[in-house]
Amino acid sequence: MSSVDKQLEQLQAEIENELPSDITVSDVKYEGPELVVYTRHPKEFAQNGDLIRKLASKLRKRITVRPDPDVLSDPHKAEERIMDVIPEEAGVTDLDFHADTGEVVIEAAKPGMVIGRHGSTLREITKEVGWTPEVVRTPPIESSTVSNVRNFLKQEREERRDILERVGRQIHREEMSKDEWVRITTLGCCREVGRASFVLSTPETRILIDCGDKPGAEDEVPYLHVPEALGAGANTIDAVVLTHAHLDHSALIPLLFKYGYDGPIYCTEPTRDLMGLLTLDYLDVAAKEGRTPPYESEMVREAIKHCIPLEYGDVTDIAPDVKLTFHNAGHILGSAVSHFHIGDGLYNVAFSGDIHYKDTRLFNGAVNDFPRVETLVLESTYGGRNDYQTDQEDSEQSLVDIINETHEKGGKVVIPAFAVGRSQEIMLVLEEAMRSGKIPSMPVHLDGMIWEATAIHTTYPEYLRDDLRDRIFHEDENPFLAEEFNHIDGGEDERQQVTDDGPAIILSTSGMVTGGPIMSWLRHLGSDPESTLVFVGYQAQGTLGRRIQTGWDEIPVSDPNDPGRSSTLALKMDVETVDGFSGHADRSGLMNFVKTMNPRPEKVLCVHGDERSVQDLSSSLYHDFNMRTFAPKNLETFRFK
């Protein structure tokens, strides 16, 4: 018998010892980080609301209770009784019964009403029918991504359970090494922006954090071939942690499965969905531009199948010697500061991912409250001495002024923006400005994936700023449903129609002008001196966006009918940059993020910034807070303990 089987046997005995005599346990399994308890008495479990909580506390495990399949009530009868229990105003749109696990997935417009206070309605459902309820939100705006992901995971439930059981046994395997050390190896995004990737190693475990591309440089990928990463074989990586879905962090996650990785990806639920959206688009753009995609779409599905979603604040075992906790990073939907607790109090490392420290219209500011952090790996995109962003109110006023000036000239405003994060932020600014009369009401055309990304935002309002979440809960107040917003389906005829029509605002991907529909808008409007191109996000070195921003007035554009052919376009439209809309903390935000940590970390690795930015930030943190700081290069390894 393996050590894990012995462990499960002991756990079952402990659980049975704690239970009343009228409740039996028929099986105990690990599924990912959770301990799943199967019982012939699910109703009795539900009647004692504190029972699961007490067991979880005593065993220090996340516990899910499921009914034995042979004690389940008939789904048709169960559906009637479930609908009697759930308040009508919850807006239930679907019930999906899964007899193999005894779960019923309830999709509702207002999941909170299905859950009830402290889970009271969920327990009532189990008491009535025996099935274990799982609740998901009905998207207020229809999202093909959310629908496709949910349907795919439904089809793959059986294989996914096998994956989770295998992962669970890996997590809870017996520790073999008595050594105590922690290493971080940098595989990308050091003294550069893009291709974020790190390996966190212990004698027992190796964890890959992020695996992205480099904007504007398709051939520069993380150093995955080295022994610390996949050079020793993809199966030597125990887990992948994805901080957020932007492509400079997520684009090459599916590539891991091409190399033979078969383990878990830990991320938040919206990060999982957005990763699917963005990586599939990444493949599509590569094909349209005549480049060979690095992996097939099947690998994206493999990545989604292996995702284990975690919520902010949940402490989760991901290896025998590592616990992971996600915290809001304030950057984009579902972005997470990733805190690793290693060993039994041995060491703590936090990876910031990308952060925004102050509240924005979309998100609450990044969390930096941790029990302990010895080493912080900190993004430094705007870490340079003079990288202070304009105040948000001033930034919004600047954008309003540019729109009004362009409108008066009869031109159009074109805003290249990331589909995820900046676009929704700008949409909120435009909706409020039109509603309050600061700018005239006019069409706001959303091109690329922006509308789909917005639909995903409304599916997960619990990840948004408190007051925005409340507005989305009330359909008539949902700002993303304002009548000015128009989704463009990507056709050239529609773009030509917008070009021929009157004043308008166009929000289009890609945010750094590295391809995608923004290239079409430059072809249509680039030579119009009455129109304005407005940059509202970071433009990385080497991208066409950065070149235009720094004065290029002749740009290469490809023929839409022949991507291999390009010509030169004289750029006559005005070019403006409005700071303050970035999803990244500026210099003061980064300094304050560290300053207000209590206790402060002993060491800080400044990454994800150009050479000047990381060195400036590293130097300032050292001088101001008397801590050891580093501005590492790629392929450096830091050993702690």
- In the annotated binding site, the residues are 244, 246, 248-249, 331, 354, 608
Mark whether 378 and 252 lie in a shared domain. Answer: yes
Residue 43 lies in a domain: yes
Mark whether 191 and 331 lie in a shared domain. Answer: yes
Q: What is the mean pLDDT of residues 536-553?
A: 89
Provide the CATH number for the domain around residue 476.
3.40.50.10890
For the ranges 261-265, 278-282, 463-467, 580-584, which has the lowest average pLDDT?
580-584
Mark whether 290 and 259 lie in a shared domain. Answer: yes
Checking if the pLDDT of 68 tops 80, the result is yes
Query: Long-range contact list for 477-482, CB < 8 A, 24+ apart?
Result: 478/140, 479/427, 479/428, 479/431, 479/432, 480/141, 480/424, 480/427, 480/431, 480/454, 481/140, 481/141, 482/431, 482/434, 482/435
pLDDT value of residue 177: 84
Mark whether 40 and 25 lie in a shared domain. Answer: yes
User: For the chain, what is the mean pLDDT?
Assistant: 93
Residue 296 lies in a domain: yes
Which residues 6+ apart lie within 8 Å of 350 measured at CB?
337, 338, 339, 340, 370, 373, 375, 376, 377, 601
Residue 178 lies in a domain: no
Q: pLDDT grade, residue 626 (50/70/90)?
A: very high
Q: pLDDT grade, residue 562 (50/70/90)?
A: low
Tokens 């041995």 correspond to 346
pLDDT value of residue 270: 97
Checking if the pLDDT of 219 tops 80, the result is no
pTM score:
0.92
Residue 75 lies in a domain: no
Parent domain of 276: 146-172+183-385+584-639
For the ranges 80-89, 471-480, 592-601, 623-632, which has the lowest average pLDDT?
471-480
For the ranges 341-350, 453-462, 507-516, 587-596, which has the lowest average pLDDT?
507-516
DSSP state of 597: -
Mark whether 9 and 62 lie in a shared domain. Answer: yes
Which of 17, 40, 67 terminates a domain? The answer is 67
Mark whether 40 and 129 lie in a shared domain. Answer: no
Q: What is the mean pLDDT of residues 238-257?
A: 96
pLDDT value of residue 490: 66
Percent of the chain past pLDDT 70, that is, above it, reads 98
The one-letter amino acid code at 47 reads: Q
- pLDDT tens for 22-54 read 899 999 999 999 999 999 999 988 888 788 889
Mark whether 102 and 62 lie in a shared domain. Answer: no
Percent of the chain past pLDDT 90, that is, above it, reads 77
Q: What is the mean pLDDT of residues 512-521?
A: 89
Give the DSSP per-residue string, 247-275. Answer: HHHHTTHHHHHHTT--S-EEE-HHHHHHH
pLDDT value of residue 224: 92
Mark whether 262 and 347 lie in a shared domain. Answer: yes
For the ranges 99-103, 175-179, 589-593, which has the lowest average pLDDT?
175-179
Q: What is the mean pLDDT of residues 66-86?
A: 93
d(CA 458, CA 427): 13
Residue 410 lies in a domain: yes
For the CA atoms of 115, 121, 123, 126, the dihedral, rounded to the nearest 10 degrees, stands at -100
pLDDT value of residue 568: 87
- pLDDT tens for 396-426 read 999 999 999 999 999 999 999 989 989 999 9
Mark whether 44 and 124 lie in a shared domain. Answer: no
Number of separate domains in the chain: 4
pLDDT value of residue 452: 95
pLDDT value of residue 492: 87
Residue 73 lies in a domain: no
Q: What is the mean pLDDT of residues 507-527?
A: 91
For the ranges 181-190, 353-362, 446-455, 534-543, which has the lowest average pLDDT?
534-543
Provide the CATH number for the domain around residue 20.
3.30.300.230
Length of the chain in terms of residues written: 641
Provide the CATH number for the domain around residue 195.
3.60.15.10
pLDDT value of residue 233: 86
pLDDT value of residue 473: 81
Residue 431 lies in a domain: yes
Mark whether 462 and 553 lie in a shared domain. Answer: yes
d(CA 595, CA 468): 29
pLDDT value of residue 249: 97
pLDDT value of residue 564: 65
d(CA 291, CA 126): 53
Provide the CATH number for the domain around residue 99.
3.30.300.20
Q: What is the mean pLDDT of residues 237-252?
A: 96
SS (H, E, C) 55-102: HHHHHCCEEEEEECHHHCCCHHHHHHHHHHHCCHHHCEEEEEEECCCC
Q: pLDDT grade, residue 545 (50/70/90)?
A: very high
- pLDDT tens for 301-315 read 999 999 999 999 999
**Better pLDDT: 349 or 390:** 349
Most confident of 201-210, 276-285, 482-491, 541-550: 201-210
Residue 248 lies in a domain: yes
Q: What is the mean pLDDT of residues 277-305?
A: 91
Checking if the pLDDT of 286 tops 90, the result is no
- In the annotated binding site for Zn(2+), the residues are 244, 246, 248-249, 331, 354, 608
Mark whether 530 and 569 lie in a shared domain. Answer: yes
pLDDT value of residue 138: 93
Strands 574-577 and 347-351: unpaired
Checking if the pLDDT of 357 tops 90, the result is yes
Q: pLDDT grade, residue 150 (50/70/90)?
A: very high
Checking if the pLDDT of 565 tops 80, the result is no
Mark whether 495 and 429 lie in a shared domain. Answer: yes
